[in-house]
Amino acid sequence: MHTNQSKQTDKALLDLILLGHVNETAVSIVAANLQAIMGLNTDIRPVLDKPDYAYVPGRNQFDAAKIIKTLCSITDGAPLKLGLIESDLCSPILTFVYGESQLGGKAALVSLHRLSAEDPAVTYQRIAKISLHEVGHLLGIKHCWKTTCLMKHSSDLEPLDSLSLYFCSACEYEIKRHLETLINRDI
Ligand SMILES: [Zn+2]
Ligand SMILES: [Zn+2]
């Protein structure tokens, strides 16, 4: 029914979960971009403690997979979770990660640690791009070969900065399709 449908799309599909203190402007910018570019409504949840359980002492980093596992165990709220953290993240095989995501899963994570630029506008743009990319993976989208698409893999800041805040039309179509499935499943 029409009224029901428009009501459902207002509902938050993703919870932003802050792990320790996270720059407030960055959080607002991530929420605004998820809404504007993916049409994804978000809720900002109360701040959680810094994830000491995932701390890797020798590296002064946090294990991204362990944090994602904890985010997955949160059963209330929106069906998707995006964790934001200011500390540096790693995985067992990579010296650092900007973010990590479960492909077609429930939870993703983004670190602000390595995204600082002299110009704060560039910093916020990087945070928005990584967040959109990781949420794209959450919606089941794999890496894209098109050089201008947000789903292109960026191993460094230089290729990240060269991207625009857009998904290519093929990825955009897939994102819409997966979001619709999610909305219908959640009714
Ligand atoms: Zn990726
Ligand atoms: Zn694409």
Tens digits of per-residue pLDDT, 79-118?
999 999 999 999 988 899 999 999 999 999 999 999 999 9
* Whether the predicted pLDDT of 173 surpasses 80: yes
Domain ranges of the chain: 2-179
Rounded mean pLDDT, 128-137 = 98
Q: Which of 100, 118, 134, 158 is catalytic?
A: 134
* Ligand 2: centre distance to CA 135 (Å): 13
The environment of the single-atom ion ligand 2, i.e. residues with CB closer than 5 A, is 144, 146, 149, 151, 168, 171
**pLDDT class of 9 with cuts at 50, 70, 90:** low
Ligand nearest 102 Cα, by number? Answer: 1
Tokens of 27: 């959080």
Just give the CATH number of 2-179: 3.40.390.10
* Ligand 1: centre distance to CA 102 (Å): 10
* Whether the predicted pLDDT of 148 surpasses 80: yes
* Whether the predicted pLDDT of 134 surpasses 70: yes
Is 52 buried (19+), middle (13-18) or exposed (0-12) by CB count in 10 A?
A: exposed
pLDDT score of 187: 60
pTM exceeds 0.85, yes or no: yes
pLDDT score of 4: 46
Q: In 3-state terms, what secondary structure has residue 5?
A: helix
* Ligand 2: centre distance to CA 1 (Å): 32
* Ligand 2: centre distance to CA 124 (Å): 21
The span from the CA of 33 to the CA of 51, in Å, is 26
pLDDT score of 32: 98
61 Ramachandran zone, left/alpha/beta (phi>0; psi -120 to 50): beta
* Whether the predicted pLDDT of 1 surpasses 50: no
180 is catalytic: no
* Whether the predicted pLDDT of 7 surpasses 60: no
pLDDT score of 5: 47
Tens digits of per-residue pLDDT, 18-71?
999 999 999 999 999 999 999 999 999 999 999 999 999 989 999 999 999 999
H/E element holding 170? helix 169-186
More confident site: 5 or 148: 148
* Ligand 1: centre distance to CA 29 (Å): 20
